[in-house]
Amino acid sequence: MLIKLTGGTVYDPANGIDGQVRNLFIRDGRIVHSLNGATPDHEYDLRGKVVMAGAIDMHTHIGGGKVTIARNLLPEDHRADPEPRRGLMRAGCGHAAPSTLTTGYRYAEMGYTAGFEPAVLPINARQAHMEMADVPLLDVGGYVMLGSDDFFLRLLSSGSDQQLINDYVAWTIRSAKAIGIKVVNPGGISAFKFNQRMLDLDEKHVYYGVTPRQILKSLARAVHELGVPHPLHVHGCNLGVPGNVETTLNTISGIEGLPMHLTHIQFHSYGVEGDRKFSSGAARVAEAINANKNITIDVGQILFGQTVTASGDSMRQHANAGHAHPDKWVCMDIECDAGCGVVPFKYRDKNFVNALQWCIGLETFLLIEDPWRVFLTTDHPNGAPFTTYPHLIRLLMDKSFRNDMLSTVNPEAAALSTLGTLDREYSLYEIAIMTRAGAARLLGLTDRGHLGAGAAADITVYTDQADKEKMFTRPDYVFKDGELVVRNGEVVKVVWGNLHTVQPEFDGGIEARLRDYFDRYHTMKLDNFVINDWEIEGDGRSKILVHPCHQGARS
Partner 1 sequence: MTALTFTLKLPLRQRLDVSPLVPDVLLGKSEKEIALLPLQYGNRRIATAELFDIQGGDAESVCISGSPKLDFAGRAMTRGALNIEGDTGAYLGMQMKGGRLCVSGSAGLYAACELKGGLVEIAGNAGDLLGAALPGNKKGMSEGVVIVRGNAGDRVGDHMRRGSILIEGRAGAYLGARMTAGTIAVRGDIGPCAGYAMKRGTLLLYSSHSEIGATFNDCGMHTLGFLPLLLKGYEGLDTCFSGAPASLARVRRFAGDLSVQGKGEILLVA
Which positions lie near partner 1, rule CB under 8 A? Answer: 72-76, 79, 326-328
- Judged by CB, which is closer to partner 1: 70, or 443? 70
Give the residues across from 311 on adjacent strands.
341
The number of beta carbons lying within 10 Å of the beta carbon of residue 466 is 7
- Judged by CB, which is closer to partner 1: 87, or 326? 326
Residue 215 CA to residue 169 CA, distance in Å, equals 12
The number of beta carbons lying within 10 Å of the beta carbon of residue 489 is 15
Secondary structure letter of residue 504 according to DSSP: -
10 Å CB burial of residue 540 (0-12, 13-18, 19+) is: exposed
Residue 112 CA to residue 106 CA, distance in Å, equals 9
- Measured from the CB of residue 74, what is the shortest distance to partner 1 in angstroms? 7
- Judged by CB, which is closer to partner 1: 16, or 75? 75
- Measured from the CB of residue 327, what is the shortest distance to partner 1 in angstroms? 7
- Judged by CB, which is closer to partner 1: 72, or 418? 72
Residue 158 CA to residue 187 CA, distance in Å, equals 15
3-state secondary structure 59-99: CCCCCCHHHHHHHHHCHHHHHCCEECCECCECCEECCCCCC
- Measured from the CB of residue 534, what is the shortest distance to partner 1 in angstroms? 35
Among residues 462, 381, 480, 302, which one has the least CA distance to residue 81?
Answer: 381
Among residues 316, 238, 257, 244, which one has the least CA distance to residue 285?
Answer: 244
- Measured from the CB of residue 73, what is the shortest distance to partner 1 in angstroms? 7
Annotate 432-462 with b (16+ C-beta within 10 A) or e (fewer): bbbbbbbbbbbbbbbbbbbbeeebbbbbbbb
Query: 3-state DSSP call for residue 333?
Result: strand
Among residues 142, 115, 139, which one has the least CA distance to residue 128?
Answer: 142
10 Å CB burial of residue 158 (0-12, 13-18, 19+) is: exposed
Residue 127 CA to residue 131 CA, distance in Å, equals 6
> In sequence order, which residues have a C-beta less than 8 Å from that of residue 102 and are 6 or more positions away?
83, 92, 93, 94
Among residues 159, 242, 194, which one has the least CA distance to residue 203?
Answer: 194
- Measured from the CB of residue 75, what is the shortest distance to partner 1 in angstroms? 4
Residue 498 CA to residue 135 CA, distance in Å, equals 10
- Judged by CB, which is closer to partner 1: 33, or 79? 79
- Measured from the CB of residue 211, what is the shortest distance to partner 1 in angstroms? 40
- Measured from the CB of residue 341, what is the shortest distance to partner 1 in angstroms? 18
Residue 296 CA to residue 234 CA, distance in Å, equals 10
- Judged by CB, which is closer to partner 1: 257, or 326? 326
- Measured from the CB of residue 37, what is the shortest distance to partner 1 in angstroms? 51
- Measured from the CB of residue 115, what is the shortest distance to partner 1 in angstroms? 27
- Measured from the CB of residue 400, what is the shortest distance to partner 1 in angstroms? 41
Residue 457 CA to residue 480 CA, distance in Å, equals 6
- Judged by CB, which is closer to partner 1: 34, or 72? 72
- Judged by CB, which is closer to partner 1: 69, or 140? 69
- Measured from the CB of residue 86, what is the shortest distance to partner 1 in angstroms? 13
